[in-house]
Amino acid sequence: MAQKYDFIVVGAGILGIFHAYHAAAMGLSVLLLEKNPSPQGATVRNFGQVVPSGMPQGKWQEYGIYATRLYKELQASAGLNIRCEGSTYVASDEEEMTLLEELHKINTANDYPSAMLTAEEACHRLPGLKRSYAKGALYFPEEITADSRVLASQLIDFLRENIGVVYRNRQNVTACAYANGVCTVQTATGDVYHASQVALCNGSDFQALFPSLFYAANIEVTKLQMLETKPQTGYSLPGNVLTGLTIRRYESFRECPSYQAMDHDAAQPELRALGIHLLFKQTAEGTIYLGDSHEYQDAPDAGLLGYELDETINALMLKEARRIFGLPHWEIRKAWYGIYAQHKADAIFQHTLDGHIHIATAIGGKGMTTAAGFAKENIEAIFNLQP
């Protein structure tokens, strides 16, 4: 007879992992199901930048600040590959400098630490940053970088070994229903599991479960291209680096008083047309991640994004990267893309079926930063617990 759990989580991306974490931490019995041998979605393909500074003020920045604290706590207990070296936003012109100064004021008023850097200070902090590019920078000392290639596996091991979560991989969930007081979850391999409540954290996979619901839900999917250089011997780049077009793109800057009056379309239209804005981070091996670009399709047409990497996009990203940094070399060792889902009107897509099947997905480009905080609140709501 199938074993019954308090809670089943479908999908072991960062949202599913933190739903499982918070439920198990509250003493519930939890089963986490993943269709792949190990997670393969956006959670392992991303930058791993944990940047509450890029979130809108209010609850999404709070989720990010909470998540940063939790990652730091788990660094020791779960052996996470986290680097606590802050985030630096580099402005390339006067408009971007204005936005940095305004965001600095907003965060100072909110007691979220940040510091303005002159162009010289920015170049000193970020070796190789070109003085011809940098007009100044804003530094957030508390922010962190995670090694996203291994973070999910490290967290899953911690959940299994320390807080009793049962994890099953190669379990593609193909049916999920609530009847007669119990949720029944079935997989393509014929396994059946029961629970009081289910969370569906399926990332951008809308084909296996409730496709009509997702296709009608105003969700789009975004394809992002990423590059990684070969190791940069004898070179060290600290923390998350975010540059001019990121300043014009991230939600936190849209809340700055001067943002609306600026003509952002005039800034590098060729790059903006492909959603390119340049971020950098160094990995523990010394390689540099750089990216990314953004191409969009509505959820039912996700397949139209294609399976190939666009070399034009890679060339444009590299050209812009070289305008910003002088790295020891620009030899690329890997190129890949990731896909995330995003609700077009809301910060996340949430929907509950029959009072017991709780969908939480389409968190967009902020999952590594905010999922831990969002999941905590969602678990409290699902199980009617007081925070």
Ligand X SMILES: Cc1cc2nc3c(=O)[nH]c(=O)nc-3n(C[C@H](O)[C@H](O)[C@H](O)COP(=O)(O)OP(=O)(O)OC[C@H]3O[C@@H](n4cnc5c(N)ncnc54)[C@H](O)[C@@H]3O)c2cc1C
382 is a contact residue toward ligand X (CB under 6 A): no
Cβ(227)–Cβ(318) below 8 Å: yes
The helix (run of H) or strand (run of E) holding residue 376 is: helix 367-382
Amino acid identity at 216: A
Q: Least distance in Å: CB of 37 to ligand X?
A: 10
8 is a contact residue toward ligand X (CB under 6 A): no
Choice between 119 and 148, CB closer to ligand X: 148
Tokens of 37: 């041998």
Using CB under 6 A, pick the residue from 5, 8, 9, 15 that binds ligand X.
Answer: 15
Rounded Cα distance between 358 and 381, Å, is 10
366 is a contact residue toward ligand X (CB under 6 A): yes
156 is a contact residue toward ligand X (CB under 6 A): no
Q: Which residue has the tokens 């002088």?
A: 326
Rounded Cα distance between 246 and 95, Å, is 13
10 is a contact residue toward ligand X (CB under 6 A): yes
Interface pattern 270-299 for ligand X (x via CB under 6 A): ----------------------x-------
Rounded Cα distance between 174 and 165, Å, is 21
Rounded Cα distance between 188 and 197, Å, is 20
Choice between 139 and 167, CB closer to ligand X: 167
Cα 106 to chain centroid, rounded: 23
Q: Least distance in Å: CB of 145 to ligand X?
A: 8
49 is a contact residue toward ligand X (CB under 6 A): yes
Which candidate, 137, 147, 13, 140, places its Cα nearest to that of 87? 140
Q: Least distance in Å: CB of 280 to ligand X?
A: 11
Using CB under 6 A, pick the residue from 9, 24, 32, 33 that binds ligand X.
Answer: 33
Choice between 188 and 258, CB closer to ligand X: 188
Using CB under 6 A, pick the residue from 103, 224, 271, 375 that binds ligand X.
Answer: 224
Q: Least distance in Å: CB of 369 to ligand X?
A: 3
Task: Please give the residue whose beta carbon sits closest to ligand X in the complex.
Answer: 13
Q: Least distance in Å: CB of 38 to ligand X?
A: 8
Interface pattern 157-196 for ligand X (x via CB under 6 A): --------------xxx-----------------------
CB atoms within 10 A of CB 159: 24
Is-cis flag, bond preceding 263, omega within 30? no
Q: Report helix angle 59-77 to 148-162, nearest 10.
A: 70
Choice between 24 and 224, CB closer to ligand X: 224
Using CB under 6 A, pick the residue from 28, 46, 195, 278 that binds ligand X.
Answer: 46
Q: Least distance in Å: CB of 131 to ligand X?
A: 26
Rounded Cα distance between 43 and 22, Å, is 18
Cβ(79)–Cβ(154) below 8 Å: yes
Cα 327 to chain centroid, rounded: 26
99 is a contact residue toward ligand X (CB under 6 A): no
Cβ(368)–Cβ(48) below 8 Å: yes
Contact stretch for ligand X (CB under 6 A) within 121-129, 321-329, 365-373, 377-385? 365-373
Tell me how long the chain is. 387
Residue 38 gets which letter from DSSP? S
Angle of CA points 9, 39, 285, to nearest 5°: 140
Using CB under 6 A, pick the residue from 23, 151, 209, 237 that binds ligand X.
Answer: 209
Q: Least distance in Å: CB of 163 to ligand X?
A: 19
Q: Least distance in Å: CB of 299 to ligand X?
A: 13
- How many amino acids of this chain bind ligand X (CB under 6 A)? 45
Tokens of 261: 């009056």
Judged by the rule CB under 6 A, the positions of this chain that interact with ligand X are 10-16, 33-36, 39-43, 45-49, 171-173, 201-205, 208-209, 224, 226, 292, 338-340, 361, 363-369
